[in-house]
Amino acid sequence: MLRHWCSTSLSLLIAGLLSSEAVSAKDFENTAIVRQVDLAGSLVQATTTYAVKALRDGADVYTVALSTQDKERTSWMEARLKGQQKALVWHARPLDTPKTDYHFVDIKLPKRLGLNETLNIVLDTVQTHATKPWPEQSAQKDEQALIYKTGLYVISPYRTLVQRTKLKSPSPRIISHTELEDISFATGAPFTKSGSTVTYGPFNNIPPSSNEAFLEKHQDEVLIHFHYDHPVLEVLKLRRAVEVSHWGANLNIQDDIHLRNAGPKLKGHFSRLDHQAQAFYKKPAPHVLPSLTLHLPPGIRNTYYYDLIGNVSTSRLRAAPRLPRGSNAKLSSVLELRPRYPLLGGWNYTFTLGWDAPLGDSASYDSKTGKYYVKVPIMTVIPGAVVDEAEVKVTLPEGADDFEFTPPFPAKSMWISTEKTYLDTSGRPTLTFEYNDLTAKHDGYIYVSYRVPISAHFQKPVAVSAAFMGLFVLAIFWRRIDLRIHKTKKA
């Protein structure tokens, strides 16, 4: 979502508080920076901890620098103080010049720091499309390996006393990684490898690095090539349609999903024999996706799973019972679904998944304001998958007006339209939100409030009754008017 930082309503609010003047390197000093990257398939989690010392009395905005590469990859970001749950408010600065290789993010600290006061800031980010399969093609029986590239130094507008970068592979089977020599800031060995972790650093006394000169002279790229034993999944397109129905007391959610195995492309052909042999010997190929497990809300009914040519029978649902209102229990219905065919590298599969949920579980009525409130989940997390493009469409009941909505994070674009479905006369207001690069961290709710006048509730029955009435009246006249030319006796 970083691409749309500027449109953040929250950040607009605090935009006035934060000055967009150049970062003063005199404000802070990083006593230590530790960056840990948890490598995986589509989603890579990078956590950077800044140990900060204030060099000036009263500083309350700490600025983090991100390289262009990091900024493009990052789809989710959260800053907080170490050991605390509460997220800090941050604001991305507009670009000074379009050509810079670094970007600034201002983090509003919870209080003004006194001179030499210290603070540990943790910056959690999730990067998408950060790894790529290498080799780019592999046969059905081959293993899967990915590469990940990143900058050697964590750049910062402040001086840094010591910094490290840890690249943590999911398994100790690391094929190779960049081996550096002659690092000017390193005192000991520039890198160490232990188990599944490769650590670059420690590097000491790094001057302010978010400037062209430093990047030109010192910044280096490190690369790690590691085995990854799970399929790399990518949802190219997710279209979620949510329909709120008051008459049916129903919340229908339907997802059209275009899933792709973004791992290495299949070299040669798929052999069912080999696939069955792998399954028989319980040695599944790491890049083959045979099935998916999804967690759906509790209390759902009428779950359906089909694709363009009909129902897919290979799924199993363990529906959890409805939770009592206000319960905090974490229950979810588990849906195990199998695509029609195992998904090998580079293969696509499109399918539709939908269910009905009791409206009472996600909507409530406030009699004071006379408004309905409904919460709509943005997505169902497909484990380990990134959603490239998402479109969430919320259809409110016919005649709903005065609606307000609060998405958990700002949409790339959003519009309101009118849709007509079953026997509608005036159509239903529909809110559509578009997002890019959603991850499991984005699994939030859109809150919508709206008002439905009593008359709107009766619009449909009245329309249908009127239509039938019309038919009957016509029939009455038809029976009673004799249009025959010859007035013969009635047969």
> By the criterion CB under 8 A, which residues form the site for another protein?
139, 141, 267-274, 276, 307-314, 340-341, 346-350, 420-425
CB 448 within 8 A of CB 402: no
- Backbone φ and ψ of 412, nearest 5°: -65, -45
For another protein, the closer CB: 271 or 417 = 271
CB of 76 to another protein, least distance (A): 30
For another protein, the closer CB: 308 or 481 = 308
For another protein, the closer CB: 369 or 421 = 421
Write out the H or E segment, with its range, that includes residue 456: helix 454-457
d(CA 423, CA 46) in angstroms, rounded, equals: 51
List b or e across 457-477, with b for residues whose CB sees 16 or more CB atoms inside 10 angstroms.
Answer: eebbeeeeeeeeeeeeeeeee
For another protein, the closer CB: 140 or 178 = 140
Number of Cβ atoms within 10 Å of the Cβ of 15: 16
CB of 387 to another protein, least distance (A): 19
CB of 357 to another protein, least distance (A): 21
Q: What's the token pair of residue 476?
A: 């009455």
Write the burial class of residue 259 (CB in 10 Å: 0-12 exposed, 13-18 middle, 19+ buried). Answer: buried
Contacts 24+ apart (CB under 8 A), 30-34: 30/156, 30/158, 30/159, 30/160, 30/161, 30/163, 31/118, 31/161, 31/162, 32/160, 32/161, 32/162, 32/163, 33/154, 33/156, 33/160, 33/162, 33/163, 33/164, 34/163, 34/164, 34/166
For another protein, the closer CB: 82 or 301 = 301
For another protein, the closer CB: 176 or 276 = 276
CB of 414 to another protein, least distance (A): 24
Name residue 44's beta-bridge partners.
127
CB of 403 to another protein, least distance (A): 22
For another protein, the closer CB: 171 or 425 = 425
CB of 423 to another protein, least distance (A): 6
226: three-class secondary structure by DSSP? strand
For another protein, the closer CB: 173 or 420 = 420
Write out the H or E segment, with its range, that includes residue 23: none
CB of 380 to another protein, least distance (A): 21
CB 472 within 8 A of CB 478: no
For another protein, the closer CB: 247 or 341 = 341
CB of 411 to another protein, least distance (A): 26
d(CA 257, CA 235) in angstroms, rounded, equals: 7
CB of 253 to another protein, least distance (A): 17
- Backbone φ and ψ of 465, nearest 5°: -60, -40
Tell me which residue of 243, 245, 271, 273 sits closest to 255, measured CA to CA. 243
CB of 287 to another protein, least distance (A): 15
For another protein, the closer CB: 269 or 325 = 269
- Amino acid of residue 39: L
